[in-house]
Structure 1
């Protein structure tokens, strides 16, 4: 056991305070817009802090630490690509500014405004499936981190207990307070997270020699550990996919986009992305660096999923672990709360409501969202315990995200910036974008039975890259071929 009584006290006090603040936010939920997008009253500083907190949780540290451990300094390119993507969105307002002008709450709402109710329903189903699959490994990796760092081990029984406790805490305040709970607790968690990252980095740097770290990368990985193009896990397909996916995901991933939609106006929304982008490279590279340091300490034979937390348990002294775990849990609660609210709101507003003949009303929509959030939480618990991901956590999360974002990019970008985009093109884009990621996830379950001639379908990088290409082609070809029989539907952005 690595935890002392002092560590436990810090952790319990912090968690209790977070839940209290989150539940108190319930009094600010006057209506549906307040619940889903915080009444569109979020300003730059708070919006930037909450977006930063949303996009880095324990699972983020875990998959970035794992990719750093497995690929060395080559992984740092991902931080640069991510930062560039956020800065492009922030400087141009690409996609997010026009969506904010339309005052939509979820992205599938735009599908109905621009295309049809059918496109909205299909888009919402794909978004929900991709989002929930994407989130499916979060709890498991959080459990692996906490079990290793706190000294409980990583047996299935231990994971079940840790995952259950985390789920109860997050759902208790997210379900009640909605986006107000998310925004308020995110700001506090951003502060604690930053302090936790500083503490961890300080003790790691005290325990490793940087020249030994560089030598380990060259010794174990050679040039692949420095050049991402030559790295067997990356290569040009992966880098092209990441460049395209980072821009599209930044503007279209519902938990991220919802922060811009919650902003006071489109200018504030753009600034939130800009300031977040300025910190993103560092926030990615720090846990990657921890993973590289784990390589130098333990060598390449440790389980890649727990190498980074194993290092933390090894170098951070007792007494500081409580602060560190509080910071990491802070990060995770920000991520879970934003994601749970995003996917449950999509399910309620864009799938359940359109299937009902009677309007659910504001109270009914909020209650339905709360029920869906609880159901998603139960799914996360059991999916995380029993599913084994077929690739690195980073690539799994990227390919499940591509299931939605590739088709959404064709639909949203086409609908916002191309007058000829129509519902036929939207249907084709959504379906084409989901095909390759879905095929990869299904076939990976039966990879021992797949003929060698079809092994290219098990290439996660190829699947992700082709999903964006096919979705874009599908939008253009589908719209052009059906333009006369299915004229495009226009919307006015100046209202």
Structure 2
């Protein structure tokens, strides 16, 4: 990276740290530190919700998915508008009426302390695990920039993020999110423009779309109903609805954003901002990844976007690597020539020749990745390195630093948002609730800062253990899907099942978690369609594929919680009536 980019990056990061920490001194109690005194404007909270979810994961992971696969990942977000409307109708007024600090403290009076602690404990586990991936995401960029091992960059960013969060508080987090979202959008739009400008003179936007469509890269909707398929319209509208309802309605990371607003109306507007903007934004990011794929049809592309240090190899491996390199160069040139003919002729013969040339190209690339995996005795992939490579190679000097700073700062925003949420749940749902005495607000404020440091250390070591992942954005959703459906089921019991009691809710929650972890290990033989369960201590035989993909774990968990919760509550009814034994009606 040029020294000018280093200056831009350094200045932007220093400004971000200053801007985020300067509001921390205004926090005189935990309500100010954790909820910004409940006086944040709706647009700031809404942008913070989007920035927390997007971050570097969106930049790196989503563009990588579109480059390697297609645009079907956008189907995961089709349910967001419906989820936001339901949350605005039911959960927002409920949280507002209860004057809650966390999403889980409202469970105690109806279902008891055990259910509150179990549910909040699941949040701590799930978010603690996911935060490791959030830290790992920008570390890929830093590793590329600084030429350092991934573990070192993880330690650096984990330390900085923890320090920043400890002083800033949620007010500082939201304030920086607003500015970082604008930098993120600028980086995405500018990168798209660079791709279009750097295309060959004979290849315009319509030609690029034609080539992408020829390779089925523009496929965004899949109408086939298949539980074993990760992304289709049905999983996006039905299964992902449960994921989004739980994520935005019961996950403290998001709930805490609209709890900082002053009224129900302000909170609703902050959520509806995401409802209107998220799907178009995600579509554009995926389109950016697809256009980047077409861009590298005409520009020199490395056989692997991930630069690795050479290691000892056998003579056979050296010979195989040399042979693959020669085949790759030939395939690269053949694909470019086929693409130009397809654009010029626009007929079925030329189009098919381009598709075949692209398939041959990717076959050789896959062969190289397999060889590198054999040499290093570990999974090797470069999905998360594609966009960083493009930034460093093709973005002009000065703007490289700004775009990388935007990715870095956006990642910091997500990290400190999640650290803040983990701290809030730890202090409010556990430490303050279980402490027999009240030492005062000053004590809890200091404790909040200490707990932030603790979670920062845990998250950093979690990132170190994760190592490489094929897609960061998928990993986040997969981790969440193990927990979100079951937690949502408890809130369904709370709001709409008036006969549900604490025993039913707790046993339903446990049953939901067990069902999710069990059915996640259900596989079928692709040749005979035989179904078998393979648990963590057994190895899945070759030829078996997952029967239920991770998005469907969300409605499964919620359904089991509600069914078991209702049956247990009817079998063991609780004596007396709680003031919250009602169906919420607006």
**Normalising by the residue count of structure 2, what TM-score does the alignment of the two structures yield?**
0.74
- Indicate if the aligned counterparts of 2:39 and 2:261 stay in contact, CA closer than 8 A: yes
Unaligned 5+ residue runs, structure 2?
A: 302-357, 366-380, 523-532
Partner of 2:351 in structure 1? none
Offset of residue 89 of structure 1? 3.3
Larger deviation: 49-58 or 451-460?
Answer: 451-460
Aligned pairs, number: 483
- 1:78-477 matches, within 5 Å, as 78-90=76-88, 92=89, 94-148=90-144, 150=145, 152-153=146-147, 157-208=148-199, 209-211=204-206, 213-215=208-210, 217-221=212-216, 225-230=219-224, 232-235=229-232, 238-239=235-236, 240-296=238-294, 297=296, 300=362, 301=365, 303-359=382-438, 361-388=440-467, 392-438=471-517, 440=520, 446=536, 449-450=539-540, 456=546, 459-477=549-567
Offset of residue 265 of structure 1? 0.8
Q: 1:438 to 1:361 in 2, by over 3 A?
A: farther
Give the secondary-structure state (helix, strand or coil) at the position aligned to 1:130.
Answer: helix
Give the secondary-structure state (helix, strand or coil) at the position aligned to 1:136.
Answer: helix
Offset of residue 272 of structure 1? 0.7
Offset of residue 261 of structure 1? 1.0
**Residue-by-residue CA offset, 1:29-60 (whole Å, 9 max, x unaligned):** 02111111111111222222222222211023
Offset of residue 126 of structure 1? 0.8
Larger deviation: 386-395 or 286-295?
Answer: 386-395
- Indicate if the aligned counterparts of 2:72 and 2:232 stay in contact, CA closer than 8 A: no
Q: 1:418 to 1:173 in 2, by over 3 A?
A: same
Q: Distance in 1 between matches of 2:165 and 2:195?
A: 34
Structure (1 or 2) with the larger CA radius of gyration: 2
Q: 1:417 to 1:71 in 2, by over 3 A?
A: same
Establish whether residue 65 from structure 1 lines up as the match of residue 73 from structure 2.
no
Q: Distance in 1 between matches of 2:547 and 2:188?
A: 38
Q: Distance in 1 between matches of 2:208 and 2:85?
A: 31
Q: Distance in 1 between matches of 2:535 and 2:169?
A: 36
Offset of residue 487 of structure 1? 5.1
Higher helix share: 1
- Indicate if the aligned counterparts of 2:494 and 2:500 stay in contact, CA closer than 8 A: yes
Q: 1:211 to 1:367 in 2, by over 3 A?
A: same
Offset of residue 337 of structure 1? 1.3
CA RMSD for the aligned pairs?
3.1
Unaligned 5+ residue runs, structure 1?
A: none
